[in-house]
Structure formats: structure tokens, C-alpha cells
């Protein structure tokens, strides 16, 4: 395992962090974590040098925090920095800060969180948090030893990111979505400009979605594979994505949501080949060409976080978008033909009532209702598909 200095802190973080948002589940129910397998995955990662573990209040509908509370027993709590997040979209009044935080400590079976973030901040939610006095609350929790270090995760454009970074002197780290498809400022995050700005202010930068929710790891279409084949040193699509992020000197930790042991083992092996500035100019040019080709094919920016669920109408939003993403990245018509089998009638895009609830909850700020209309049009345009 390789380690990097974590911003201004006198501590080095493993370049690979374990993100507990996509743990293995039972019966397709995100709230039912396959606990023996999840425990094996996380402890294996820690045993092999991972010292940064990340979760959130809403992950697996609260089951992620509870699972970690059990995983980090038997001496494992002392081996890692535990990161958790305040669900800012649920906070309505000042008293909610303590209410949610104490619930998290209880779930995690700990008396403190090493690294605590305001979750999925935007310019709008930051204004609300400031008004309620979140920074004063955090400083109090730090003084009491309940929080070690304070930061934020972010889903908005660079202008809002800069406002947040400049709006409080106590930030020590931030978490942003960043990969070779998300280099520009937009609704997904502040892009390269944000990465550079945070680092210039001395903040440690934790990167989420380095493989865009797994989409950059699926077997690519022939046009993209042909570009990868030009590389002198061969890598899997997933490793290309990870190595691109690790190549950035400003990045401290790269989070990966690993749901099978193969993912853990492969990612751990990849860390040994990582370093700042390791990719050649030719390799960087190949990655840029792949990025442009993916944009030509079409990509839906859903990361599979499931914040949009449950849908009041029963629409299987993440599953539909996952199917579309795979189709756009492979151009495999059989995927669209499989829509009726994979998405039952009671869960299809055609049932969307355009209530907008999902869009209010989406950290990526996706226009979900329009995307669902597009999904239905694509499905119905294929002859013989019911």
C-alpha cells in the first residue's frame, strides 16, 4: 500500500480508501447487506493497508453505518480513520445536528468520528447550513473530542465550491467526484479547477466515483477498446480510471465501492503501480481520446447512489439508468431488448409521474424525469419490444 499526506494533517492516508456505499446485498435489497461477505472485504482491505473507511447516514438505508460498527470491532477501529457524513438535506433546525450525529455514533458503536463531512453540499444547502450555525456546532464537537477533523463532500459547480471553501477557515478536507469523464465544472462537481483550488488552500482532497459508479470498468465498445489497445502497457478499464486519478498530485485518497473480493484484490494490486505523475504523455492522450469517444456515445451521470429511492410510483430509477449506461458504453442492442425482463412492468420508466421528488434528492442534480422519458422512448423505438 502507498500513502499520501492528508492535506495539512500530520497523517498519511492510504491512496485507496474503502467506500461503504456499494456493499454486497441480499435479495436485491440495498438495506440487507451480506454481512459476512462485507466484513470479509473490508477487513481484508484494512489488513492490506487501507486506513481510510468512508460511510454516510443514508448509505444502504442506514445499514452501512451499523455494519461498520460491527466490522470495526476486534481492534480494527484503531487501524483506520473513520469518515462519516451529516445528511444536510434532512437537517431542518439547529437541534438536528446533534440528533443525527448521536444516531450515527450509536450506529457506529463509537464515541467519535475521525473525519466528519457535511454531505453533498451545494451552494443552496451551504447557505442553509451557515444560517443554522453548522460551523459553530462542528467546532464545539471538535472541542469535545466527538469529531476529529471537519470537511464536506460536494455536488455542484465550481463557483459554489469556491464560495464554500472560502466561506470557512476551518475546513481541513473535501470530497469531490472526479474521474477522466468529470474534469469540467458542472452539476457533478467542480472539476479539475476545483481540485486545484482546494489543494491550493491546503485542503486534503478525497475523490469519489473514480470509475463513475463502475461505468468506466465495464467492457467497452469496440471503438474505445481499439484506443486502449494502442497502449504499450496494457491495463483493465478500471485500472486506467484509477491510475488517472492517482496521477493527480493534488489527490490524497481515492475511494472505491468494492462489492466483491475480486474488486478489493485488483484495486489493492493497482495501488502498487500508482504514483503522482506516473502516466506518460501518450497514455494521458489515450485517456483523453477515450473520454471524447464516450461523450460521443452518450453517458448518463447516475452514480447508483440510490438517494432517489424509493420512488412514489415504484419506478426503478437506478436500475433503468444502469441499463442505459451499459447500453451507451457498449452499444449492445440486446441490453435494450432485455429491458422487459430486467425491469418489470410495475417498475418501468413509463410510470413516472414527474413529481420531482427524485430530482430534489439527487446529489448529481440529474434531470431524472427527462432521462426517464428518454429511456422509455429508446425502449419503445425498438421494434418488437413490449
233-259 tens-digit pLDDT: 999 999 999 999 999 999 999 999 999
Looking at 234, 266, 296, the residue that finishes a domain is 296
Looking at 249, 266, 296, the residue that finishes a domain is 296
Q: What is the CATH number of the domain that holds 106?
A: 3.20.20.100
Q: Are residues 139 and 207 in the same domain?
A: yes
Per-residue pLDDT of the chain (386 residues; tens, 9 = 90+): 999 999 999 999 999 999 999 999 998 788 999 999 999 999 999 999 999 999 999 999 999 999 999 999 999 999 999 999 999 999 999 999 999 999 999 999 999 999 999 999 999 999 999 999 999 999 999 999 999 999 999 999 999 999 999 999 999 999 999 999 999 998 779 999 999 999 999 999 999 999 987 878 877 777 889 999 999 999 999 999 999 999 999 999 999 999 999 999 999 999 999 999 999 999 999 999 999 988 876 666 677 788 899 999 999 998 888 888 777 666 677 777 787 778 888 988 888 988 989 988 887 667 788 778 777 777 765 534 33
CA angle, corner 379, sides to 177 and 381, nearest 5? 125
Q: Does residue 386 fall inside a structural domain?
A: no
Q: Are residues 286 and 366 in the same domain?
A: no
Q: Are residues 124 and 267 in the same domain?
A: yes
Q: Does residue 149 fall inside a structural domain?
A: yes
CA 72 to CA 59: how far, in whole Å?
17
Q: Are residues 284 and 372 in the same domain?
A: no
Q: Does residue 184 fall inside a structural domain?
A: yes
Q: Are residues 225 and 338 in the same domain?
A: no
Tell if the pTM clears 0.85, that is, is over it. no
Residue 219: the pLDDT is 78
Q: Are residues 133 and 237 in the same domain?
A: yes
Domain extent at residue 273: 3-296
Q: Are residues 62 and 201 in the same domain?
A: yes
Amino acid at each position: 500500500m502507498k500513502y499520501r499526506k492528508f492535506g495539512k494533517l500530520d497523517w498519511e492516508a492510504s491512496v485507496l480508501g474503502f467506500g461503504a456505499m456499494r456493499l454486497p446485498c441480499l435479495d436485491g435489497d440495498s438495506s440487507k447487506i451480506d454481512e459476512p461477505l462485507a466484513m470479509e472485504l473490508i477487513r481484508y482491505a484494512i489488513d492490506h493497508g487501507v486506513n481510510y473507511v468512508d460511510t454516510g447516514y443514508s448509505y444502504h438505508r442506514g445499514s452501512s453505518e451499523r455494519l461498520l460498527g460491527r466490522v470495526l470491532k476486534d481492534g480494527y477501529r484503531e487501524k483506520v480513520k473513520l469518515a462519516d457524513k451529516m445528511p444536510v438535506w434532512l437537517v431542518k433546525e439547529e437541534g438536528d445536528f446533534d440528533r443525527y450525529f448521536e444516531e450515527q455514533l450509536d450506529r457506529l458503536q463509537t464515541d467519535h468520528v475521525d473525519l466528519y463531512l457535511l454531505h453533498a453540499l451545494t451552494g443552496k444547502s451551504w447557505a442553509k447550513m451557515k444560517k443554522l450555525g453548522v460551523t459553530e456546532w462542528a467546532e464545539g464537537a471538535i472541542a469535545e473530542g466527538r469529531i476529529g477533523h471537519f470537511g464536506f463532500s460536494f455536488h455542484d459547480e465550481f463557483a459554489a465550491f469556491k464560495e464554500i471553501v472560502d466561506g470557512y477557515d476551518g475546513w481541513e478536507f473535501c470530497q469531490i467526484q472526479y474521474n477522466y469523464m468529470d474534469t469540467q465544472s458542472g452539476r457533478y462537481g467542480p472539476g479539475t479547477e476545483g481540485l486545484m483550488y482546494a489543494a491550493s488552500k491546503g485542503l486534503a482532497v478525497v475523490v469519489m466515483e473514480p470509475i463513475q459508479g463502475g461505468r468506466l470498468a465495464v467492457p467497452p465498445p469496440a471503438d474505445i477498446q481499439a484506443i486502449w489497445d494502442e497502449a504499450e502497457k496494457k491495463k483493465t478499464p478500471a485500472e486506467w480510471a484509477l491510475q488517472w486519478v492517482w496521477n493527480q498530485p493534488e489527490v490524497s485518497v481515492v475511494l472505491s465501492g468494492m462489492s466483491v473480493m475480486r474488486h478489493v484484490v485488483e484495486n489493492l494490486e493497482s495501488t502498487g503501480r500508482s504514483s503522482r505523475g506516473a502516466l506518460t504523455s501518450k497514455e494521458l492522450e489515450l485517456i483523453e481520446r477515450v473520454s471524447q469517444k464516450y461523450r460521443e456515445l452518450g453517458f448518463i451521470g447516475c452514480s447508483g447512489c440510490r438517494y432517489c429511492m424509493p420512488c412514489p410510483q415504484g419506478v426503478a430509477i437506478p436500475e433503468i439508468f444502469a441499463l442505459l449506461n451499459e447500453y451507451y458504453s457498449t452499444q449492445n442492442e440486446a441490453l435494450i431488448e432485455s429491458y422487459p425482463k430486467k425491469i418489470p412492468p410495475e417498475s418501468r420508466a413509463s410510470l413516472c409521474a414527474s413529481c420531482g421528488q427524485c430530482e430534489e434528492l439527487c446529489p448529481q442534480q440529474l434531470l431524472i424525469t427527462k432521462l426517464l422519458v428518454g429511456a422509455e422512448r429508446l425502449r419503445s423505438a425498438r421494434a418488437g419490444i413490449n
